[in-house]
Amino acid sequence: MTNPVESPDTGAAGSGKGKTILLCTGIQYANIGDVGHVTGILTLLERFLPEAKIILWTAIDVTEYNDLIRRYWPRVRVVHSRLDGDGDDTFEPTNKEVFAAVEEADFVIGGHGGSMGQIMRWIAQRYDIPYGIVGVTVSAPPTGASKDFVDGASFFYTRDTQSLENLRRSGARCKTMEFAPDATFGSAIIDDATAETFLHEQGLTAGNFICVVPRLRVTPYYRIEPRFRSDPAPWSDERRREVDTLNDAHKEEDHAKARAAMITWVRETGKDVLLCPEMIHNMDLFDELLYEPLPADVKPKVKKRERFWVTDEAAAVYKKAFAVISFECHSPIISSVQGTPAFYLRQPEDTIKGQMWYDFGLSDWVFEIEQSTGDQISDRLMSIVADPGGAKTYLNAAMDKVARLQARMMKNIGDEVNSV
């Protein structure tokens, strides 16, 4: 297990010495990508503002997650709380410890939408503390109180340019509104030892397997234990039927395209496939959508991840893979950080965040699933087999752009934090 956080000459303003940052991020444990948001921004803060004191206010309170944060960031103080109430004026934290954390902060950074966005708005309404936002999607131009919140921010970084355009269309007056890739691109944590044990148990060797991650069109959160997800409220029977009907209408057609790539890989290379989860319920999809429909000659080469994992182990496994093919958005990000080519099979229901892949130069590895065929995905995979050096050059160019955008963002954050 390593944490390759370095302090390069990035030109970041100051070190954050004497400043306390309240970092509000972490909405659910059910998704290694959501955890990756947290580990990504913590990695960037440690790299660019190493002397700042960090308090992490997170909605996630799961043993494995808490252990992960303590293992890599022992100096970070962690407080857990959600907000209970009927509206912005009546919301209150479920854990009163957060009041002291907010009052101690010199600056507040929000790194997630959803429930953490709600927390950020609560802080902005109640406290006169400067704040900024990092790595979120803005699905529509904000209005009313939402626009007021954007206007009041010191900076607002969207993770895709379409979100940035939505901010601009709203007429928002935030001092700095820019695009910077998803915070998960900043995550550098990796657990090589645990991954090596798992790969040995599966008979998998570095560079000789691909990973495949399934996804339904809309996440059926009712299948996930409430404590692991961002919104623990029960689903109505009507909502369940609506989501299941949509998912059932597309799941076979979507995943047949991924299976085509799996079949081509096995038959052309004779190498293995590992079915992996990004979300905790993905493992329930392996048999129906990716394994059972396979031809008999392919099945023996397909392994299945039988238990959920934490982001650092997933990163180490993806690092060892030849390539990753994923319907989920964040496994390709985690893979790319580790230098492994990754295809994102993008479903139209998966928000506008997928625009980021075009923004930083990996459009050849995005497949809009309704406009793509299994043959196209297979052919692109085999082109990487034929020219791995070209794929590496292509990925490195994109990751260089990501690094430049991150450094620019962190310099501005450093300027803002050190100015208070």
Distances from the Cα of 325 to the Cαs of 13, 145, 254, 341, 388, in angstroms? 38, 40, 13, 9, 16
> Quick one: pLDDT at residue 90?
65
Residues 1/194, Cβ–Cβ less than 8 Å: yes
> Quick one: pLDDT at residue 270?
98
The 8 Å CB, 24+ separation contacts for 361-368 are: 361/397, 361/398, 361/401, 362/336, 362/394, 362/395, 362/398, 364/394, 365/332, 365/341, 367/257, 367/343
Q: Which tokens sit at 250?
A: 């597309």
**What is the number of other CB atoms lying within 10 angstroms of the CB of residue 7?**
11
Q: At what angle do helices 32-48 and 330-337 cross, to 10 degrees?
A: 40
- In a 10 Å sphere around its CB, with 0-12 CB exposed, 13-18 middle and 19+ buried, how is residue 102 labelled? buried
Rounded Cα distance, 57 and 389, in Å = 42
| Per-residue pLDDT of the chain in tens (420 residues, 90 and over written 9) | 444 444 344 444 567 789 999 999 999 999 999 999 999 999 999 999 999 999 999 999 999 999 999 999 999 999 999 887 655 556 789 898 999 999 999 999 998 877 788 899 999 999 999 999 999 999 999 999 999 999 999 999 999 999 999 999 999 999 999 999 999 999 999 999 999 999 999 999 999 999 999 999 999 999 999 999 989 999 999 999 999 999 999 999 999 999 999 999 999 999 999 999 999 999 999 999 999 999 999 999 999 999 999 999 999 999 999 999 999 999 999 999 999 999 999 999 999 999 999 999 999 999 999 999 999 999 999 999 999 999 999 999 999 999 999 999 999 999 999 999
Phi, psi of 82 (to 5 degrees): -110, 180
Tokens 């990695």 belong to residue: 43
> Quick one: pLDDT at residue 402?
97
Three-state DSSP state, 392: helix
Query: What's the CA angle centered on 355, arms 349 and 356, to 5 degrees?
Result: 125
> Quick one: pLDDT at residue 94?
87
Set out the domains of the chain in order of their start, with CATH numbers: 20-187+403-419 (3.40.50.11720), 192-400 (3.40.50.2000)
Name the residue among 57, 82, 78 with its Cα closest to residue 66: 78
> Quick one: pLDDT at residue 13?
55
